[in-house]
A and B are shown apart, each in its own frame.
Chain A
Amino acid sequence: MVAGSRPTSCRNYRCWIERLNHITESKTLKFALEKTTEDMEQQIIRETFHLVSKRDENVCNFLEGGLLIGGSDNKLIYRHYATLYFVFCVDSSESELGILDLIQVFVETLDKCFENVCELDLIFHVDKVHNILAEMVMGGMVLETNMNEIITQVDAQNKMEKSEEATLGMRVSFVTVYSIAR
């Protein structure tokens, strides 16, 4: 099983991220929804996985947009990390290489926030992953690219979360990690 994120999209520009896994059917986590239907989104994800996963290592990281993702104006830009693919669907208003770097920033940020991020972190903390992504991409548009800035924001949110929990005086005891999940 796998988690991932769903398209964040808007009319002219779409930028979504998804993680796909080699082995299992892809499950997804949505970030924002366009007018696309549920089925169509699943179809997009499947098709994208199909397209991306069969590509060799040293081909380019851009894929011409098929009809599914809104025609030839849109491109799929992806990066491959171990078992995970991060795929963005981007229209022509963004620089291709810039988006490749943005994916890198996203992954580096995840890595910093989760300390050596692994797939399970992304599954068990879908909401946090979304928070981080929300600091970078908003309504399908690139919001922030500076990793330190992003981490500062995430940190601040985390502190707030902490203080809220402290005042409640509960649930601090569950510090053990879910190693059972494996």
Chain B
Amino acid sequence: MPAVSKGDGMRGLAVFISDIRNCKSKEAEIKRINKELANIRSKFKGDKALDGYSKKKYVCKLLFIFLLGHDIDFGHMEAVNLLSSNKYTEKQIGYLFISVLVNSNSELIRLINNAIKNDLASRNPTFMNLALHCIANVGSREMAEAFAADVPRILVAGDTMDSVKQSAALCLLRLNRTSPDLVPMGEWTSRVVHLLNDQHLGVVTAATSLITTLAQKNPDDFKTSVSLAVARLSRIVTSVSIDLQDYTYYFVPAPWLSVKLLRLLQCYPPPEDAAIRSRLTECLEAILNKAQEPPKSKKVQHSNAKNAVLFEAISLIIHHDSEPTLLVRACNQLGQFLQHRETNLRYLALESMCMLASSEFSHEAVKTHMETVISALKTERDVSVRQRAVDLLYAMCDRSNAQQIVAEMLNYLETADYSIREEIVLKVAILAEKYAVDYSWYVDTILNLIRIAGDYVSEEVWYRVIQIVINRDDVQGYAAKTVFEALQAPACHENLLKVGGYILGEFGNLIAGDPRSSPLVQFNLLHSKFHLCSVPTRALLLSTYIKFINLFPEIKGTIQEVLRSDSQIRNSDVELQQRAVEYLRLSCVASTDILATVLEEMPPFPERESSILAKLKKKKGPGALPDVEEVRKEKNTSVNGGVEPLGASATPPSSTDLLSLSSPTSLTPASTSSTAASLLVDVFSENHVPAAPGAPLGPVADDNFSRWASSVVSLCNVRKPLGGNCESPPAHKLSPRRFVCKNNGVLFENQLLQIGLKSEFRQNLGRMYVFYGNKTSTQFLNFSPSVICQDALKTHILLQRGTALCVRGAQLQQVLNIECVSEFVEAPILNIQFRYGGMLQNIAVKLPITLNKFFQPTEMTSQDFFQRWKQLSAPQQEVQKIFKAKHSMDPEVTKAKIIGFGVALLDRVDPNPSNFVGAGVIHTKMTQVGCLLRLEPNTQAQMYRLTLRTSRDTVSQRLCELLSDQF
């Protein structure tokens, strides 16, 4: 007999479902659903009391409608009633509805908790299970508070049924994950460990999951679980004649439990007790041996189950990293899988091997599979697998195979999937630098990178190549020659132009002897591409030109002419204009000696941690990058030189607008030569103005300029170190109230991120510019802001540059178009997700879009005002609030606030001059709502009385709430 007979159940529901299925169109479906909803509503509201069956049927229908994607706003109470039914089917539907539809802050939660409490105490295992399932599925804090004490008790009680124990263990695990602070450790902990010895394997599996999570947090409390887990594992893996109560799956004994036990053991170092240790080794060997045996079944389920255990065993071996023979055996096993016909196994083998590569015992063994991995990169049809192959190549790379691996990766890059290009670029850049014996190879590699995947070459990468060239004089001539040649290409990437401009500006003289690359040729080559570039690149090129004046006095005239041209000296971009003006002036007034000192070659960059590496680490999370530490020690040079823009290391004054982040006022670099600085004071004392806000400039682009010029502009920014690796940086949320009467400012700030806003509104439309400033020195990955709002408000993300925030103070700008459809209360929520330091950061901020933003001020005479005031005299149209002043009662401030609120401030309307009167119209797409307001301050009592009259009661109410909060 089938366990679920198809006939029984609820006929009405089945008919309803068939009806829905027969609907030909979406409209027909909605119509049918609305009809049903009306029917159910009338049934629930009807006088006749419904019996349990009907209630169940209707609740079930509601559930189905909800699952079709429609909102359900009633029926909760009926569902809660079902919970207290003593019929299983009714109770079960009730619980299902609750788990799916009731959110944790519902008012019903007390009733629900009550029902759960009764069921937990019922000693009926089926009811207890339903209750435990509900707690686990909802998992809210309220539930944790209510049941955190009961669940452990049920779990360890001697007379609890096995199935209930299982549910209790997982329920506790769930509560521990959602509200760890509420689940107290206690005497039950030791008894939980002993569940590993339970007769029932289902209970053991559930308990192992629970213990693994608990042990990760409190390893000491659960230390005893190691020996029990090893004993259990050994009984499953090594003995032949054990009754596994049907837990054998396709000839594999208890695969899920084995996996769980092996996971648990990965929370601990290798066991110290020699006996346990050898028993565990025995188990691991047995698992590895079984992999070599012929399969007991051809079914994929058999091999899946067997290999699931095998991969977990290999993970444990890698985690322990102490038994060379096991490690090598594991590596060989994975090598076999690399050529397996099952794609899943190839994928997992590559993944596991990545971890093996970092062990000193198996690194060499892993390297023997290089050819296979390279061919995987070329032939695999699945991008997920290719991605793993890239990871593994990176992990197995060392000095002996670097050139080959880098070449293969570059090859692959030409056809690589867009989604992984940036990561490959970073990896190639790191490997090329880390294992460069010959720096000309390094330069070639990076230029190739830019050629192949220029768009994916982040700033760090090209900063880094410049830095290395500057710091190593043996490669400078070669670099100049190579970039010069690369720039000959008719179309070259802007990043190449940046590198080229910088390097030629510094070392162009090294190749100027060759008539094919004479100074004028170099200059013309660069300038031919000047007009196609973005502002930051042009700024950098201008610096190159002034450097050329010093390097090649013979082309000074040509360059001065260019600087003097209207397109430079009157450029609409203030940064470019300023550079052109100052460079031109500098070239005219300064003597050759001064020029030579000011524009001398850049000093070597101070050593610092590679930020490319940091970037990749952030991208992949710490585990995925073996050998990284070592790289850092090997080559402790830095990409970015001495200058860091504001966002990274200096904290802007909290009152400033976020826009200040974009101003290129760089910090005084540590390595600035003091002579240059003091000379410049003289040169520039008349005409130098502090750098004006403009496009943010990359540090290198800024270097020439800022190292000598900005240092003069006395910027006394205080460097304030960021507090290490904060896992959850405290957010400095600025009150949304501040935005009711103004449109610009800093919306949110924590240690990582600052969000600034500029917005403008016109009738029912608005546009909001959101600026995201990265305050850290590393890139945020997968940075994705999104806006959630209700129907009354439409937002539309118009423009978004870049998906990831670049390093150090770089800014991402987003433009939101907002349309107010009808009046609303809830502000839209800006949800930002990104990865920082391997941690997923989630920030949700309310956007300060309030109803009053859609005000258009209306000027009117006193007579008009009072006439309309009288027209709006229905009681619900007026809202009045009397409240205490929170701020000083300065009339000027109040005026500004009322104007900021959006209404016209009407002078001489109110007979009492100290009162304020305003009028405006709220524009929404659907309608316009006229609004009159009057604010009467009472300075003696420090109170205000605010009266609002609009044609809509809800609008009056909302506006009153908003405005009264401001004073």
Contact = CB atoms under 8 A, between A and B. Distances in A.
B308 interface: yes
Contacts of B6: 114, 121, 124-125, 177
B209 A141 contact: yes
Given A146-B245, A172-B8, A174-B11, A95 B133 contact: no
Interface in A144-182: 144-149, 151, 153-158, 160-162, 164-165, 168, 170-172, 174-178, 180-181
B88 A161 contact: yes
B888 interface: no
B74 interface: no
B3 A127 contact: no
A64 interface: yes
Contacts of B89: 160-161, 164
B256 interface: yes
B21 A125 contact: no
Contacts of B14: 124, 178, 181
Interface stretch (B41-49, B343-351, B434-442, B685-693): B343-351
A86 interface: no
Contacts of A87: none
A3 B66 CA distance: 12
A100 interface: yes
B88 A160 contact: yes
Interface in B710-743: none
Contacts of B163: 153
A59 B382 contact: yes
Contacts of A126: 63-64, 67
A27 B69 contact: yes
Nearest to A4: B67
B794 to A, nearest CB: 13
Interface string A1-20: 10100101011110000000
A13 to B, nearest CB: 7
A56 B381 contact: yes
Nearest to A27: B68
B384 A97 contact: no
A168 to B, nearest CB: 7
Interface string A85-113: 00000000101111011101100000011
Contacts of B126: 156-157, 160
A143 B245 contact: no
A61 interface: yes
Interface in B1-33: 2-11, 14, 17-18, 20-21
Interface centre among A37, A71, A155, by most chain B C-beta atoms within 10 angstroms, is A71
Contacts of B347: 60, 62
Interface string B287-326: 0000000000000010011011001100000000000000
Interface residues of B, number: 89
A144 B833 CA distance: 34
B2 A112 contact: yes
Interface stretch (B171-179, B272-280, B609-617, B626-634): B171-179
Contact of B255 (A101, A139, A171): A101
Given A126-B67, A178-B14, A112 B96 contact: no
Given A11-B178, A148-B246, A157-B126, A71 B67 contact: no
A157 B653 CA distance: 65
A48 B53 CA distance: 37
Contacts of B311: 95-97
Contacts of B247: 145-146
A86 B6 CA distance: 22
Interface centre among A33, A101, A154, by most chain B C-beta atoms within 10 angstroms, is A101
Interface in B829-852: 833, 835, 840
A138 B68 contact: no
Given A113-B2, A157-B88, A42 B166 contact: no
B96 A130 contact: yes
Contact of A171 (B11, B133, B201, B259): B11
Given A61-B344, A93-B263, A177-B7, A139 B170 contact: yes
Nearest to B205: A145
Nearest to B784: A67
A95 B3 CA distance: 30
A123 B259 CA distance: 34
A125 B171 contact: no
Contacts of A60: 343-344, 346-347, 382, 384-385
A55 B364 CA distance: 35
Contact of A127 (B93, B136, B263, B833): B93
Contacts of A67: 782, 784, 833
Contacts of B255: 98, 101
A22 interface: no
Which size bracket describes the interface of A in this complex? 35 or more
A112 B167 CA distance: 23
B764 interface: no
Contacts of A84: none
B99 interface: yes
B96 A115 contact: no
A8 B136 CA distance: 10
B343 A171 contact: no
Interface centre among A32, A98, A113, by most chain B C-beta atoms within 10 angstroms, is A98
Nearest to B310: A97
Contacts of B177: 10-13
B665 interface: no
B384 A62 contact: yes
Interface centre among B202, B256, B301, by most chain A C-beta atoms within 10 angstroms, is B256
Given A30-B100, A32-B99, A58-B343, A39 B788 contact: yes
B840 A73 contact: yes
A71 B782 contact: yes
Contacts of B327: none
A128 to B, nearest CB: 5
A178 B18 contact: yes
Contacts of A139: 133, 135-137, 139, 170-171, 173-174
B138 interface: yes
Contact of B137 (A1, A31, A64, A105): A31
Nearest to A94: B259
Nearest to B10: A171
A93 B69 CA distance: 31
A143 B206 contact: yes
B883 interface: no
Contact of B100 (A3, A33, A37): A33
Contacts of B384: 59-60, 62-64
A179 B393 CA distance: 57
Given A10-B177, A60-B385, A113 B171 contact: no
Nearest to B162: A149
A127 B101 CA distance: 14
A145 B249 contact: yes
B381 to A, nearest CB: 6
Interface in B99-130: 99-101, 103, 126
Given A93-B263, A158-B4, 19 more contacts: A27-B67, A31-B99, A59-B343, A60-B385, A97-B311, A97-B344, A125-B9, A131-B92, A138-B136, A139-B133, A139-B170, A145-B205, A146-B247, A160-B89, A162-B8, A164-B87, A165-B8, A180-B18, A181-B17
Which 3 residue pairs spanning A and B have beta carbons closest together?
A139-B136, A97-B308, A175-B7
Interface of B: 2-11, 14, 17-18, 20-21, 53, 60, 63-64, 66-69, 71, 87-89, 92-93, 96, 99-101, 103, 126, 132-133, 135-139, 163, 166-167, 170-171, 173-174, 177-178, 201-202, 205-206, 209, 212, 245-247, 249, 255-256, 259, 263, 301, 304-305, 307-308, 311-312, 343-344, 346-348, 381-382, 384-385, 387, 621, 782, 784, 788, 833, 835, 840
28 contacts: A27-B67, A28-B69, A30-B66, A31-B137, A40-B788, A59-B382, A62-B344, A71-B835, A95-B263, A96-B308, A97-B308, A97-B344, A100-B304, A102-B256, A113-B2, A127-B93, A128-B9, A138-B174, A141-B136, A141-B206, A142-B256, A143-B170, A143-B202, A146-B202, A174-B7, A175-B7, A177-B7, A181-B21
